[in-house]
Structure 1
Amino acid sequence: MAISRRSLVKGITYTLVLPSISCMFFACAGTQSANRSNSNNETNADSTVVTANKAEGEIVPIRIAYPAGMNGQIAKVMEKAKIAEKKGLEAKYTFFQNGPPMMEAFTSGEVDAVITSPMPVINFMSRNPGKAFVVASLGNSSYSLMVPKDSSIKQVKDLQGKTIALSFGSDSHLDFLKLLKESNLNPKSDVKLVNTQPNELQLAFERKFADAIIIRQPQVLKLQKKLDAQIIHTWPHRYISVMRADYLEKYPQAKKKYLEALQEAILFTATNKEQASIWFSEQIRLDPETIRQVSKDDPNYTVTKLENVSVEVTPAIKQILEDWAKFSYETGIIKKEVAWNWK
């Protein structure tokens, strides 16, 4: 069963600029909400810090890529709240609809840091050993195995003989292969898997091109609301960030600045939920309320203090990545084993 593919939406690049007239503008807007006033105050403070950093010659350029998934909210907040500038970074942001084209840009050296998830990184590492480092763990969202409300599929074993649409080489692909193995189902003979681009999965579901799909948030919630779609299984969608090795060699001070910016962006998102969701909704064209509802999957969404925000790549996260890479190799998703270098 073939599903037509549309051209991948190319990244749109945004360059941070210093706010030169924001104080004058907002001083005239006496009816602004409290959240927006707080945001303006933080922006003005950031501008002062950026000016000081420039005077001291500490500004480091960085090009950051992020996807349409919920992890993209971190980068959008970092951009709109001028957080990277506060940390001494001159940041340029590029938005991508999904992982493959984003990692292609990373491979070609068009971006220096990527906010993503494990499988795009594992694919990259298997082809480009030693070219990047996992520098941050950024919480999680989720993705789910979904079926129509009137489907006869009620549990995983009911998938035998069915067609499932999913994105090959993705995090959900690997997790689904694990689930099939645990359920004693052969992915080559017991089910039919159809490779479908992430932005086409909802259409595949609505037009019944497949009996089931595996799709990430916020589309899961959208399908529940719109079609009363049913969830058979849900997995955590883990978020990480990687930086190019050659970039870190050129700018060794960039990692610390970048990690601090990530922490502050996570805190801002958690403590300014409405504003953060509005910013991200403008990027992915989804209502802010849905974004806030889906964001509750992330344990970082409840933090109230910076010291409670950890982006550390813990031993547990390292083990997960190593296990995933091993299973990816065993199942043929990647052709070469990954040699991890935990810098």
Structure 2
Amino acid sequence: MRNRIVVSLFCAFLFLMSAACGRNESSSSASSVSKQEWPSELHIGYQKSSFSLFLKEKGYLEKQLQKHGTQVKWFEFPSGPPLLEALNAGQIDVGYVGGAPAVLAQANPTSQLTYLAYEPEVARAIIVPKTSSIRTVTDLKGKKVAFGKGSSAHYTLLTALETAGLTLNDITPVYLQPSEARTAFERGDVDAWVIWDPFLADAEVNGGARVLIDAKGLPKQYGFIVGRKEYVKQYPDAVQTVIDQLNKVHQEIHSSPEEAAQLLAKETKIGTEIWKRTLSRRGYGVFPLTKEVVDAQQRIADRFYEAGLIPKRIEVKDAVAVIKQ
């Protein structure tokens, strides 16, 4: 009888130990899954003309993500096309670009781009020297026009020329990044320049520029927060945190433009008054994608295909991410 009792107690002990081990293994497994929901690093691409720069300087994103062991690394780009090249190459995970660069990136056979959210348009225009004899878009025929190839300025120029019955074949394109284009514009090496804020505002105030036509009456072109597909799929919470914090700085800038202009001026070496001008004529907020926005982006894709700027037709909606909003 004593032996049977000892055996029974031993079996009960083994059962309890097995159950405890099972709980520990389940807890360990759950912990492992939890850790996998947050990346060890987040690489963000930004441009000096975007509010991502303000987010970088404020450190809000780092404060939120360090709770989950995620380190944020920032990479600066002069415009959207090189930023998206880095995204397709896996060098960055999230970034901000204009509509036109996103279309070109999506048309790449190895595209990793996915649309996450959008921002309102920024001011864009075609400018000429104040003393230029160019008075209408029609006068651009045969002239040298500077702009970033594949940038939002590219689409601005394309649609502006169409208002005068012209195409890109009617002008001489000079593909330059903003800093290079500013130099060429002031030296008189080009006849016109297509550019966006704050570079536009700076050229108007300090660069002897006159607006020939702005983008207000042209087809809309939104800004986009974009991500690398695999990263977005694997780490949706981290990506949502980026969107939330960007929206936070949008509201902060909108409510305190004076302070924002001073910070942005310090970081970009573009004057405070220029940033005040820029901030006064743009919209604010980071929003979930809507049909209207996707349709506007699809029009860019269709026009670029018709102009021979992308090799195939694309469906913008195929690259729209579904994440928490």
Please report the TM-score for the alignment, with normalisation by the length of structure 1.
0.74
| Deviation (angstroms), 1:162 | 2.2
- Which one-letter code corresponds to 2:256 in the other structure? N
- Which one-letter code corresponds to 1:81 in the other structure? K
Name the CA distance, whole Å, in 2 between partners of 1:286 and 1:186: 33
**Residue-by-residue CA offset, 1:140-164 (whole Å, 9 max, x unaligned):** 2122111111211111122223222
Listed as ranges, the gaps of 5+ residues in structure 2 are 1-33
Match of 1:184 in 2: 165
Question: Does residue 40 of structure 2 align to residue 64 of structure 1?
Answer: no
| Deviation (angstroms), 1:128 | 4.2
Name the CA distance, whole Å, in 2 between partners of 1:94 and 1:79: 10
Secondary structure of the corresponding residue to residue 44 of structure 2: strand
Question: Does residue 315 of structure 2 align to residue 331 of structure 1?
Answer: no
Question: Does residue 184 of structure 2 align to residue 207 of structure 1?
Answer: no
Match of 1:194 in 2: 174
- Which one-letter code corresponds to 2:180 in the other structure? E
Question: Does residue 249 of structure 2 align to residue 265 of structure 1?
Answer: yes
- Which one-letter code corresponds to 1:68 in the other structure? K
8 Å CA contact 1:163, 1:192 repeated in 2 = yes
- Counterpart of 2:60 (choices 73, 83, 90) is 83
Listed as ranges, the gaps of 5+ residues in structure 1 are 1-55, 301-308
Identical positions, percent: 24
- Which one-letter code corresponds to 1:246 in the other structure? E
Question: Does residue 110 of structure 2 align to residue 110 of structure 1?
Answer: no
Equivalent positions of 1:213-252 (< 5 A) are 213-235=193-215, 238-252=222-236
**Residue-by-residue CA offset, 1:61-99 (whole Å, 9 max, x unaligned):** 421111122x2xx21222232321454363222111222
| Deviation (angstroms), 1:127 | 0.5
Higher share of residues assigned helix: 2
- CA 1:130–1:104: 2 relative to 1, 3 Å: closer
| Deviation (angstroms), 1:249 | 2.1
Name the CA distance, whole Å, in 2 between partners of 1:222 and 1:249: 39
Question: Does residue 299 of structure 2 align to residue 296 of structure 1?
Answer: no
- CA 1:319–1:286: 2 relative to 1, 3 Å: same
| Deviation (angstroms), 1:337 | 2.3
- Counterpart of 1:122 (choices 103, 112, 122) is 103
Question: Does residue 298 of structure 2 align to residue 322 of structure 1?
Answer: yes
Match of 2:138 in 1: 157
Name the CA distance, whole Å, in 1 between partners of 2:288 and 2:62: 22
Name the CA distance, whole Å, in 1 between partners of 2:76 and 2:277: 22
RMSD: 2.2
Match of 2:267 in 1: 283
Deviation >6 Å, runs of 4+: none
8 Å CA contact 2:47, 2:53 repeated in 1 = no
- CA 1:86–1:183: 2 relative to 1, 3 Å: same
- CA 1:81–1:118: 2 relative to 1, 3 Å: same
Secondary structure of the corresponding residue to residue 120 of structure 2: strand
Secondary structure of the corresponding residue to residue 253 of structure 1: helix
